[in-house]
Amino acid sequence: MGLIAKIKAWFSPLLATFRDFLKAIFQGAVELTLAALKDLAIQVVSELQYDPSIITNEDKRKIAFERIKVLAKAKGISVKDSLINLAIELAVQYLKK
């Protein structure tokens, strides 16, 4: 076994462990952010669902997105757009039940 093969064999388990560690951290960060957004999303979506001045669901989604983004920023929650969209969808499903 050559030197490079030995180095790869030695580092491979370390890299796999490090990758798993980063994956767990990322997953935990996403869960924490969604938990922080949950109440905001439910509040905003429930306010908008019966607003007669907003006709289409797409308009409601756009307004909900902007409101949640502003409220999250005001609370110091840094969040990506995709998580806001996910929080909106989860809130809609929650309120349908």
Domain edges within the chain: 3-96
Helices and strands (DSSP H and E) totals, the chain: 3, 0
CB atoms within 10 A of CB 61: 17
Which pair of structure tokens corresponds to residue 65? 């997105």
pTM: 0.69
Percent of the chain topping pLDDT 70: 99
- Which residue in 8, 4, 27 sits closest to 16, CA to CA? 8
Q: Buried (b) or exposed (e) across 8-21, using 16+ Cβ within 10 A? A: eeeeeeeeeeeeee
How does pLDDT run across 16-37, given as a tens digit for each residue? Answer: 887 887 788 777 777 888 888 9
pLDDT tens per residue, range 61-81: 999 999 999 999 999 888 889
